Amino acid sequence: MEEGERSPLLSQETAGQKPLSVHSPPTTGCLDPVPWEDQADAWGCSCCPPETKRQALRGTPGKGPAPSLSIGSSCVKYLIFFSNFLFSLLGLLALAIGLWGLAVKGSLGSDLGGPLPADPMLGLALGGLVVSAVSLAGCLGALCENTCLLHGFSGGILAFLVLEALAGALVVALWGPLQDSLEHTLHVAIAHYQDDADLRFLLDQVQLGLKCCGAASYQDWQQNL
């Protein structure tokens, strides 16, 4: 091949390719590291301030990354998790039993849009719903170390304690009227013993548990013909 001629094979191979620059740096498959700010913004919990996220990702300046939990803290964490998991299962069981009782008695489908039925199963279902929701918040908050869920769990426990304290104070302050009201309620329950299956079951369990008969004596059952 003469000096002035071009090779057709070389022209076909180099056709459509950009000329390589001498000053262009070689490309590699490695990506640049993600800045700390982007990692902090991509962190899941939106309730934590950005500075807390960056500090947790970087660690304390001069001390390296954030230390892991100690053995005692890990034991407390998993103790909270398992205890709340157990209570959440019990709450879901109570919710299921309450809904099943309402469905069997037909209280769920009757009078849609009307007032809620005065049924003990409704109280069981609502109580199971509240207990399971609070317990699941504590369970997931302890497992995932989520501050928002732990705050919700602490608020629920605090609300339960306040309600229990108020109920105890009311019982102590109104013990006399409560006794009279309870005795009147028992007389009414004895008079309507055969009218409601739930009332009959509840009254039987109360008398068996307390080993009593009637409100004051067995003669109270003479009110029921």
Q: How far apart are CA 55 and CA 223, in angstroms?
A: 74
Could you tell me the CA-to-CA distances from 46 to 40, 104, 193 in Å, in that order? Answer: 10, 44, 56
Cα–Cα distance for residue pair 55/67, rounded to 1 Å: 12
The type of residue at 193 is: Y
Contact (Cβ atoms closer than 8 angstroms) between residue 45 and residue 56: no
3-class secondary-structure state, position 60? strand
Q: How high is the pLDDT of residue 199? A: 80
pLDDT averaged over consecutive 10-residue blocks of the chain (225 residues)? 50 49 47 50 53 53 56 83 91 90 68 56 88 91 88 92 94 88 86 82 85 84 83
Check: CB of residue 221 under 8 Å from CB of residue 190.
yes
Cα–Cα dist 149/147, whole Å = 6
- For residue 86, the SS3 value is helix
> What pLDDT shows up at residue 74?
81
For the whole model, what pTM was predicted? 0.54
Residue 40: per-residue pLDDT = 47
